[in-house]
Structure formats: structure tokens, C-alpha cells
A and B are shown apart, each in its own frame.
Chain A
Amino acid sequence: MDVRQAASVKVPHAEFFPPPPAPRGPNVWRRRLHDDRRELTRFWPVVQNMVVQELKVRYQRSILGFVWTLLNPLLMLATQGFVFSHLFRANVEHYPVFLFAGSVPWMFLNASLSDAAMSIIMNEGLIRKIYLPKLIFPMARVLIGLVTLVFSMAAMFLLLWPMGARPSWSMLTLPAAIGLFAVFTMGLSLVVATANTFFRDCGHLISVFLQAWYFLTPIIFPIEAPMFDRVRWMLELNPAYSFIELFHEILWAGRWPRWELWALASVIAVVSLGVGYATFKSQEDKMVFRL
């Protein structure tokens, strides 16, 4: 029976679903985390593939692909820069750089959330045909946004050189700021991906909500602006404030951000990811029935 011997060399790992019963409480989540780490390692190439293919489609088809993707944020920056520095007289030094430091990360948040909201529904074809951990769909969308963010940030910083964009030592902390912001975005993405799968009209709400949130975040005007005097505490409660402020400090002011700001951003990022993960995982099994 050489067949059996061949099989005994590699004992396949047994997959149980639902997994063997475990005591309720923290153990459930510990096992979920453990399983997810195993699954994400196994399916990491799929995520990679999705990200690479998407970027390829975006950048490779036309030689000008990358320029095109920059054009949209650039034009938006130019319009806003003109409107707010000339018409509304935002008295901010190097105003275009200030605007850039806040709005480019915001575009990442915006794009990630609206893409992630659709990610489960858009991949119905895959989900109904082959088993994939559903976590990878919002994750791929956030990673695509992240790559775009890094590219456009670098390119636009160079373009803003004549407007006063200058490198500084504090930029060494930029990866940490981007990382924290990405964690924060991932958490929110998981929430909207879950919500939109179960309630399809969430998509409309999300775009309206994002628009309102944008104006409640000190991106166009610095939080020090006199117009915010009375509502400053409200702006500081805004969960996105600490991240945007990090980017302002690093990219615009060229200062090392205060440690309180880092602490606040880290706490918010971790809470966001925790809430997002819990929301997503508790509904994950039901998603396929709602497609």
C-alpha cells in the first residue's frame, strides 16, 4: 500500500468549521485572531495579487497613467488653494503646502472607505465560488489606497517645491504617521464594509458623512484660526484630528510632533481597528447569504 505511505508523509491539516467549541469570552477572540493570522499568511499572495493587478491596471495601461491619477488631486488642491488663500484669506504661511499635508491623507481615507464599502459586494463572484477569508477584500482596498497615498504624497511634495515645501528631519517619522493613519482607516473600512453588505443604502450615507467629516476636520484652515475659537474643543474631539495634525506638523511645519499627539493617534488607531475587526468578524459568516 504505497499510496498510504505516501499520504502519511504529509498529514493534511484538518479544518473544522465551525471550529471546535471553545469556552465563551476572550478565548473566542483569541482563537479568531490566531485563525486569522494563519489564514492571512496563507492567503497573503491573493491580497498581493489583487493589489498589484489593480495598480497595474491603473498605471500600466497608459504611459500617462500615473500622471492622470495625480491630476485629479492636483487640480483639487489648486482650486482649493486658490479659493481659500485668495478669496477667504486664510492667513497661513505656505498655504498650498498646508492644504496638501492635510488633504492628501484625507483622500486616502476617502478612497479607502468608499472602496471598502463596496469590496464585499463587488467580489460576490469570487466569494460564491471559492473560499477566501473575507477580511482580504477590504484589506486589499486599503492597501491599494495606501500605495496611492505614498506615491502621490512623494510626487506632490516635489511639485510643491516652488510653493515652499521643504524636507525636514521630522519627516523621518512620516512612515509612523502613515502607518497609524492606515490602521485607523482599516478599522473604519471594516465597519463600512460590514454595514454596506447588510444595508445596501449605507453607500449613500457614507459619502455624505465623509463630506461632512471633511469640513469638520481642520484641513482647509488650521485649528489655530480665529474662526474656530468657540468650537475648537469640538474639533479636537474629532477622531481624525490627531492624524491630520500629525501630518501638518511633519509635512508643513517641519516640527517633531508632540508625544501626546502620537499617543492620542495610537490609541484612536488601535480602538478603531479593534471595533472594526470585532464588527466584521461577528458578521463574516452571514455575509455570503446576503450577496
Chain B
Amino acid sequence: MPRSSRKKTKWFSDSDRAASATLDPGMMPLIELADVSLRFVNYADKQYSLKRAMLDLVLRRESNAPKGEFWALRELSFRVHQGERIGIIGGNGAGKSTLLRLLARIYPPTSGQVAIRGNVAPLIEMGAGFNPELSGTDNIVFNGAMLGFSKQEMLAKAAGIYEFTGLQEFADLPLKYYSSGMYMRLAFAIATEVHPDILLIDEALGVGDAAFIEKAKERLRGLVDRSKVVVIVSHDMESLREFCTRGLWVQHGRLVGDGPINAVIEAYLNATTARISA
């Protein structure tokens, strides 16, 4: 809370108190969703133009721009405490990635409330905010700034990042010349090197080679040992089983399963095979 006295910020005091007055911060959930729903309005023509808006207005006809809406997430409520490793599973289009984006604050919820305590490092769709024109090192600084770290802090971490990725020799190459594997390795290394309180991963490990995936898992384990929260969206049940402690099964935007990872995966697989054989 830079440069703001508590006295002046009465309207915000509730959350301040919630964060500071608890006796045991270890028990405070890092992620708390209360009855969260998210609605997408499906714009048939995304570029609803001013021309059409004006015509609609002048001709006094019903604006027909927003065509249909759909609830990507419905009434989700759960809490995530320190040290939990969450695996989110579900079919395509179930809302897994949307949920992850909601946790990253990219999508604001339509209703309900999301509370996040701690800094979040998202790894969504490969590379969390890079500028392809910039060199590797510049991107480390740029990405670090978005995660809340100063240039000096990031330059100090650069050595560790290069050591993990083995990309030292490409440090001055613009990112647009990186292969997708290199891109992903860099993104993963930055997101884990800054030791975020909450790490969100969306199938990010998909493009890595076997050796890298092994290394990445090792690193994630280290991260979790420092009692951080990791949330992973994946279809790779084996690694989820191996890696996560708790599973969340999302179906049609609703939370249909929440519990120990093995039990949730069992239920999910049973339901899937049942549907196929039926």
C-alpha cells in the first residue's frame, strides 16, 4: 500500500482488516471464490460498429448487436489454502481456462466475488506477456515489471533464469526468433523464478521436450515445498495425479467435483467412459 495512510482509506478498511487482523495468516485462504459466475456475451459481430449503433439509434430499432449470452462459469465457490496444488480437469470448453483467467484477474466476474491474497504469476497460452520485438533479457525485465519486480531485481534473477533454461546464448536475440519451446521455457522460468504466491499454469508444459518437462516438474515441486499455491489446467491425468493434491472438476462452467486428486480423476474418467459407452 504505497503512500496511502489507513485513515484516509476508510472505504477500503474492510479488506485491510481482513488481511491484517487474522490471527493466523497461514490459515487464510490465498484464493477465495464466493458464488462466482462469469457471463460471456457472444457478440455475433465482434466489431459492432459505430455506424450500426448509430443506425440502430436513428431507425429506433432494437439493437441486435449482442447475440446470445452464455455462462462460462456458474456459482463457483471454493477456497485454496497455502501449499495446495490444484489440478483443474474437465472436457473441452468446460470453463477451465476461463477459471484460470478469472484467478489471474484477466476476466472480472459478472457476479460473486473473488479474493486473491498474494502475487500471482500466470502462465497462460505460452508466455505471460512478452514483447516479441525485445531481446530475452529485456523481456525478463518487462515481464518482471508486470509481476511487480524492479529492473534490478529481475536482472539479479536473470542468471538463474538462464541457468534453468539454457538460453544464455540467445539472451540478446529478439523473442520473435525463439522457437515455441524456447519461448515457453523462458516464460516458465520467469514465472517460477520470482517465487509467486500463486502460480497459474494453463497447459504451458505441452510444448516442452521430455527432459524439460522433468526439469520443470522438479522445479514446481521445489516451489510448492515453499508452501505456495499452484493451479494447473491440463488434460494429462498422469502428471496431474503425480503432481497435484487436490482436483477441481469443472463441467459446463459448474464445479462438479472437488476433493483429493485421485478421487476426482477417477470420477471424471468414469463419467467420461460411461458417456462414451452409453
Contacts and interface: CB of A to CB of B under 8 A. Distances in A.
Main secondary structure on chain A at its contact with chain B? helix
B14 interface: yes
B277 interface: no
A49 B24 contact: no
A17 B108 CA distance: 7
A288 B113 CA distance: 18
B26 A7 contact: yes
Contacts of B82: 3, 7
Contact of A20 (B1, B14, B227): B14
A53 B150 CA distance: 16
Given A7-B25, A16-B15, A126 B51 contact: no
A128 B19 contact: no
Interface in A12-26: 12-20, 22
A189 B140 CA distance: 29
A57 interface: yes
Contacts of B107: 288-289
Contacts, number: 149
A13 B1 contact: yes
Given A12-B117, A129-B122, A30 B146 contact: no
Interface in B44-83: 46-51, 53, 82-83
Contacts of B30: 12
B118 interface: yes
A288 B40 CA distance: 11
B203 to A, nearest CB: 13
Interface in B96-151: 101, 104-109, 113-120, 122, 124-125, 127-129, 131, 133-134, 138, 141-142, 145-146, 148, 150-151
B41 interface: yes
B135 to A, nearest CB: 10
A131 B120 contact: yes
Interface residues of A, number: 51
Q: Chain B at the A interface: mostly helix, strand, loop or mixed?
A: loop
B12 A8 contact: no
Contact of B113 (A11, A17, A49): A17
Contacts of B14: 20
A8 B24 contact: yes
A48 B101 CA distance: 26
Contact of A129 (B51, B53, B129): B129
B3 A41 contact: yes
Interface string B28-50: 10100000000011010011111
Given A20-B14, A49-B141, A127-B106, A14 B128 contact: no
B145 A46 contact: yes
Interface stretch (A157-165, A197-205, A239-247, A274-282): A197-205
**For the side of the interface on B, what is the size category?**
35 or more
Nearest to B21: A11
Contact of B1 (A38, A45, A48, A200): A38
Interface string B234-264: 0000000000000000000000000000000
Nearest to B29: A14
Nearest to B202: A129
Given A30-B11, A45-B151, A15 B115 contact: yes
A198 to B, nearest CB: 7
A46 B11 contact: no
B12 A31 contact: yes
Contacts of A129: 106, 122, 124-125, 127-129
A95 to B, nearest CB: 39
A15 B1 CA distance: 11
A9 to B, nearest CB: 9
B26 A4 contact: yes
Contacts of A7: 25-26, 82, 227
Interface of A: 1, 3-4, 6-8, 11-20, 22, 27, 30-31, 34, 37-38, 41-43, 45-46, 48-49, 53, 57, 125-132, 195, 198-202, 205, 285, 288-290
Interface of B: 1-4, 8-9, 11-12, 14-15, 18-20, 22, 24-26, 28, 30, 40-41, 43, 46-51, 53, 82-83, 101, 104-109, 113-120, 122, 124-125, 127-129, 131, 133-134, 138, 141-142, 145-146, 148, 150-151, 197, 226-227
Given A34-B8, A53-B131, 16 more contacts: A3-B226, A3-B227, A4-B24, A4-B25, A11-B25, A11-B117, A19-B12, A46-B142, A46-B146, A53-B142, A195-B50, A201-B49, A201-B50, A288-B106, A288-B107, A290-B43
